[in-house]
Chain A
Amino acid sequence: AQKITQTQPGMFVQEKEAVTLDCTYDTSDQSYGLFWYKQPSSGEMIFLIYQGSYDEQNATEGRYSLNFQKARKSANLVISASQLGDSAMYFCAMGGQNFVFGPGTRLSVLP
């Protein structure tokens, strides 16, 4: 069975600084994908970034990058130059035979 672990229930970061949100996963699938979603207080689930298990380079999308370490089964999200609008819940998720979400990390950006 697939499982996602996010060990940081809450994180604080100062505006304009970088922050790393941790994600580890467990799967027996050889082919899988790792995703990060953002959920603001308004409730919508916003897709941020994707990393395929066979991708050799870390994914980047604007201020978001995914630090993929396959041997460690980790897929941490790095947000550079944090903005106040980045305050939200962040979910790591994995797709393969099934699709599973982690419990989330609440990020608060301080002015």
Chain B
Amino acid sequence: EAGVVQSPRYKIIEKKQPVAFWCNPISGHNTLYWYRQNLGQGPELLIRYENEEAVDDSQLPKDRFSAERLKGVDSTLKIQPAELGDSAVYLCASSHRLAGVGTDTQYFGPGTRLTVL
């Protein structure tokens, strides 16, 4: 079974430029998560999708970050414009979350390391 796929693995951009990250979850997983992980810290949830619906985006900086998950499969996370403080690893995870069930195991992709100069 293929794992969570992310691309690109690395991205270097100058501040004020746009950037996009792509994630393809494990086949059959209905829930998709985007996290940001700063150096030496734990991942911080940015947005969670259940199928096509964003059910938790409370930590997403909506002035510059946007995400979509068309057709409930793969997803794109965009930053426009990027700032120096956006340098981090962006992790995508997926799980098979059953409606009404409290929790689920997430499986992570390799991440995209973003450097903003």
Question: Which A residues fall within an 8 A CB radius of B?
Answer: 4, 29, 31-33, 35, 37, 43-47, 50, 52-53, 91, 93, 95-104
Which of B33, B42, B56, B108 neighbours the largest number of chain A CB atoms within 10 Å of its CB? B42
B82 to chain A, nearest CB (A): 20
Query: Could you show 20 A-B contacts with beta carbons less than 8 Å apart?
Result: A29-B102, A31-B102, A32-B102, A33-B104, A37-B108, A43-B89, A43-B113, A45-B111, A46-B108, A47-B105, A47-B106, A47-B108, A93-B42, A97-B102, A98-B45, A98-B56, A99-B33, A99-B106, A101-B43, A102-B42
| Docked complex: B34-68 residues within 8 A CB-CB of A | 40-45, 48, 56
A103 to B43, CA, bound (A): 8
B37 to chain A, nearest CB (A): 9
A32 contact from B91, B103, B105, Cβ within 8 A: B103
Determine the chain B residues whose CB is within 8 A of the CB of A96 once the complex forms: 102-103
A52 to B101, CA, bound (A): 11
A99 contact from B45, B89, B107, Cβ within 8 A: B45
Counted as pairs of residues, one from A and one from B, with CB atoms less than 8 Å apart, the total is: 60
Asked if B42 and A33 sit within 8 Å, CB to CB, the answer is no
Question: Which B residues fall within an 8 A CB radius of A?
Answer: 33, 40-45, 48, 56, 89, 91, 93, 102-108, 110-111, 113
Which of A44, A52, A96, A102 neighbours the largest number of chain B CB atoms within 10 Å of its CB? A44
Determine the chain B residues whose CB is within 8 A of the CB of A37 once the complex forms: 108
B48 contact from A29, A52, A91, A99, Cβ within 8 A: A99
Determine the chain A residues whose CB is within 8 A of the CB of B103 once the complex forms: 31-33, 52, 95-96, 99
Determine the chain B residues whose CB is within 8 A of the CB of A53 once the complex forms: 102
Asked if A103 and B107 sit within 8 Å, CB to CB, the answer is no
